[in-house]
Amino acid sequence: MAMWKFCQFFLLCTSLFFLPIANAQDSLGQTIQVDTRFSAIVGKPTWTLIVREVETGKVLPYIFDIKKTDNFWIAFTAGRSYRITASYLKFGPYAQIKNFCHLENGIISGESIQVILRGALTPSPTDFSCHVSKYKDTPYQMEYP
């Protein structure tokens, strides 16, 4: 029994040691950066952002619970082309803003997105502003020591 536990421990340690080496050349694709500076928040809003990578078909769900007025989030993709399939803000079971910030607008290839949100976050879209900009960039390269 002691030998079996030693083998399990040895396998765990070696897999943790070699895991970064196996993924040393993995690169991240594009990013979606979100910066908020709200003056007020009504209720307990939750922003759901669902990204689908075009090359692999992988679906990446992101859920942001908005509890503070100032936030900075980054959503990563592994591919160069992606599509935002859902972007909705829920204030509870009844109040919802679909296609939040108008992000559901087709395939985005080779560009990252920066979203800047200002104003009072309420169920009324006229109380806040949403500025979306796209920019070309190179993918991040993950290097492990």
Q: What is the pLDDT of residues 94-111, one digit of tens each?
A: 899 999 999 998 899 989
In a domain, 90, yes or no: yes
Query: Does the residue 16 lie in any domain?
Result: no
Q: Considering the domain boundaries, does residue 123 fall inside one?
A: yes
Q: Is the confidence at residue 14, as pLDDT, over 60?
A: no
Domain that holds residue 55: 27-136
Mean pLDDT of the region 65-85: 93
| Structural domain includes residue 20 | no
Q: Confirm whether 55 is domain-assigned.
A: yes
Give whole-number Cα distances, 37 to 28, 46, 63, 83, 97, in Å. Answer: 27, 16, 18, 26, 19
Please tell me the distance from the alpha carbon of residue 96 to that of residue 79, in angstroms, as a whole number: 30
Please provide the average confidence, as pLDDT, over all residues in the chain: 82
Evaluate whether residue 116 is within a structural domain.
yes
Q: What pLDDT shows up at residue 103?
A: 94
Q: Is residue 122 part of a domain?
A: yes
Model confidence at 79, pLDDT cuts 50, 70, 90, reads: confident
Instruction: Please give the pLDDT value at position 91.
Output: 93
The answer to whether residue 10 sits within a structural domain is: no
Instruction: Read off the CATH number of the domain in which 31 is found.
Output: 2.60.40
- How many domains is the chain built from? 1
Task: Please state the three-class secondary structure of 16-72 as a single string.
Answer: HHHHHHHCCCCECCCEEEEEEEEEEECCCCEEEEEEEECCCCCEEEEEEECCCCEEE
Q: Where residue 21 falls among pLDDT bands split at 50, 70, 90?
A: very low
